[in-house]
């Protein structure tokens, strides 16, 4: 069975600084997707970034980038130039690439960006 | 990306009653997913709904408690039946695109009193 672990329940960062959120996972699959989702107080789940396991290159989306270490089963999210609007819960998620794309979510990290 | 409309956005219900949550997608999708997010917790998949067949429920969730309808490729409903305070949660519907990316509705915050 797949598992996703986020070991940091809460984090804070000063505006304009950089923060890294950690995620580890466990799977016996060789190909899969990894995601980071953001859930602000509005409750809307928003896709931040996606990584395909067969790609060695780390995904990047503007100020968001990942450090994907497949052998270590690690998938961290780096937020650069943090903004107040980045304040939210961040969930790491895993999905297989076969069958029903069933998602497994981590327990989340609450990030607070301080002015 | 898909646009998903979910309603109601919130409701307060008496225990023992039922609530039906609607989910409308702006494009046709094969599968729709229903999740529960208990207070302060992560998302847990309740069931997967395919059009024209019975929903597939995850361990710990049963059809009598969470009946699901999927009458067409753009619409689904989830009913929370015979509610108790333990059912107080956020319920979210989701669809996935061909690239495996999930998109979510705004969620329904249910409080059972």
Average pLDDT, chain A: 93
* CB–CB contacts below 8 A, A to B: 50
Q: What is the DSSP letter of A17?
A: S
pLDDT digits (tens, 9 = 90+) for B50-80: 888 889 999 999 999 999 999 999 999 999 9
- Nearest-angstrom CA–CA distance, B92 and B39: 13
**With 90 as the cut, is the pLDDT of residue A44 above it?**
no
Q: Which of B102, B103, B105 to probe by mutation at the A interface, max A CB count within 10 Å? A: B102
Of B43, B99, B109, the CB nearest to A105: B43
Greatest C-alpha distance within chain B: 41
Task: Tell me the HSE value of B77 on the side-chain side, using a 13 A CA sphere.
Answer: 12
Which member of A45, A93, A97 has the closest CB to residue B92?
A45
The pLDDT tens digits for A84-100 are 999 999 999 999 876 65
Residues linked to residue B50 through DSSP beta bridges, in sequence order: B31
pLDDT of residue A98: 67
Residue B4: exposure state from Cβ atoms within 10 A (0-12, 13-18, ≥19): buried
A54 touching chain B per CB within 8 A: no
Residues B35-59 have a mean pLDDT of 90
Q: Which of B44, B106, B109 sits opposite A44 (nearest CB)?
A: B106
What does DSSP say about strands B10-13 and B108-112: parallel, antiparallel, or unpaired? parallel
């Amino acid at each position: 069975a797949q598992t996703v672990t986020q070991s940091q329940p809460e984090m804070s960062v000063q505006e304009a600084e950089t923060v890294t959120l950690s995620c580890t996972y466990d799977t016996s699959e060789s190909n899969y997707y990894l995601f980071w989702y953001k859930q602000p107080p509005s409750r809307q789940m928003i896709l931040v970034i996606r990584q395909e396991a067969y790609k060695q290159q780390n995904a990047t989306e503007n100020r968001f980038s990942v450090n994907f270490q497949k052998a270590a089963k690690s998938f961290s999210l780096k937020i650069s130039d943090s903004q107040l609007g980045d304040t939210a819960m961040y969930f790491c998620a895993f999905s297989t690439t076969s069958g029903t794309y069933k998602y497994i979510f981590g327990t989340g990290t609450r990030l607070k960006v301080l002015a | 990306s898909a646009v998903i409309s979910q309603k109601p956005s919130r409701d307060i219900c008496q225990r023992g009653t039922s609530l039906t949550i609607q989910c409308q997608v702006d494009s046709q999708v094969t599968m729709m997913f229903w999740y529960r997010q208990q207070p302060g917790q992560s998302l847990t998949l309740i069931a997967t709904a395919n059009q024209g067949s019975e929903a597939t429920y995850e361990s710990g969730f049963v059809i009598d408690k969470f009946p699901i309808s999927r009458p067409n490729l753009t619409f689904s409903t989830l009913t929370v039946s015979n509610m108790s305070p333990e059912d107080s949660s956020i319920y979210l519907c989701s669809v996935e695109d061909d690239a495996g990316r999930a998109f979510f509705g705004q969620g329904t915050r249910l409080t059972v009193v």
